[in-house]
Chains A and B, each alone.
Chain A
Amino acid sequence: GAVVSQHPSWVICKSGTSVKIECRSLDFQATTMFWYRQFPKQSLMLMATSNEGSKATYEQGVEKDKFLINHASLTLSTLTVTSAHPEDSSFYICSARRRTSGRGETQYFGPGTRLLVL
């Protein structure tokens, strides 16, 4: 199957620090990766779409300078929450779409990263 991992699974940090979350496709190449944010009892909200080798496309209302996304290779994308504040505390989920997928093909999701900013 297609496996997507995220690291770390849990992170607690102090307000004002930056946190990097990694998303890896372990057994396939992903030209497109997606970053979502999930609030308790809420839907997954798409934050940004990243394509390998190009700048990420951010959804309306998402601050690109605060949530830095890098998709440097076909198997790795990173999300950096810069100068984190308590309101950034959330569950962050990434997904990846296979390189060979056509339009609308399945996305494979990582297990998520729980961020708590004190």
Chain B
Amino acid sequence: GDSVTQMEGPVTLSEEAFLTINCTYTATGYPSLFWYVQYPGEGLQLLLKATKADDKGSNKGFEATYRKETTSFHLEKGSVQVSDSAVYFCALLNQAGTALIFGKGTTLSVSS
């Protein structure tokens, strides 16, 4: 079945460091791909998405490119801030378009 694998955390970085969180998927066809972020004490928020191969989603300085050849959707940011500390979830939409399938989440901790 469909699945999402993302790198284990926690990821600990200093402010202004470069961030990469790896995400790969297994799915039938070409599903829409998402990154969600969960700040402490809050619900999941959509960070960015891509709906077809080679699309690049971007928001708040974060980017991810839909790579069908490597079935990946890695999240990157050039310069992280303390306020980026959160849990990041990679997800795909199943083929029926009815449900999101999530990775396990990666905790990012940024220190000043």
Size of B's binding interface in residues, CB under 8 A: 22
Q: Which A residues lie within 8 Å of B44 (CB)? A: 44, 93, 95, 109
For the complex formed, measure the closest distance between the CB of B45 and the CB atoms of chain A, giving whole angstroms: 7
Residues A42 and B104 in contact, CB atoms below 8 Å apart = yes
Residue A104 contacts which of B4, B32, B36, B103 (CB distance < 8 angstroms)?
B32
Q: Which B residues lie within 8 Å of A19 (CB)? A: none
Given that A41-B104, A104-B32, A104-B93 are known contacts, is A46 also in contact with B43, CB under 8 Å in the complex? no
Q: Which A residues lie within 8 Å of B49 (CB)? A: 106
State A6–B42 Cα separation when bound (angstroms): 11
How big is the A interface, by class?
Answer: 10 to 19
Q: Which B residues lie within 8 Å of A49 (CB)? A: 98-99
Residues A43 and B103 in contact, CB atoms below 8 Å apart = yes
Residues B105 and A103 in contact, CB atoms below 8 Å apart = no
In the complex, whether B61 has a CB less than 8 A from a CB of chain A is no
Q: Which A residues lie within 8 Å of B41 (CB)? A: 111
Look across to chain A and name the residue whose beta carbon is closest to the beta carbon of B42. A111
Residues B102 and A43 in contact, CB atoms below 8 Å apart = yes
State A1–B32 Cα separation when bound (angstroms): 22
Q: Which A residues lie within 8 Å of B42 (CB)? A: 111
Residues A107 and B100 in contact, CB atoms below 8 Å apart = yes
Residues B45 and A43 in contact, CB atoms below 8 Å apart = no
Residues B45 and A109 in contact, CB atoms below 8 Å apart = yes
For the complex formed, measure the closest distance between the CB of A42 and the CB atoms of chain B, giving whole angstroms: 6
Q: Which A residues lie within 8 Å of B45 (CB)? A: 109
State A93–B100 Cα separation when bound (angstroms): 13
Given that A43-B89, A44-B89 are known contacts, is A106 also in contact with B46, CB under 8 Å in the complex? yes
16 pairs, A vs B, C-beta closer than 8 Å: A4-B43, A6-B43, A34-B99, A34-B100, A41-B104, A42-B104, A42-B105, A43-B4, A43-B102, A46-B100, A49-B98, A104-B97, A106-B46, A109-B43, A110-B43, A111-B42
- What is the interface of chain B, defined by CB distance below 8 A to chain A? 4, 32, 36, 41-46, 49, 51, 89, 93, 97-105
Nearest 10 CB-CB pairs, A to B? Answer: A103-B97, A109-B44, A109-B43, A111-B43, A43-B104, A43-B102, A44-B102, A104-B97, A104-B32, A104-B93
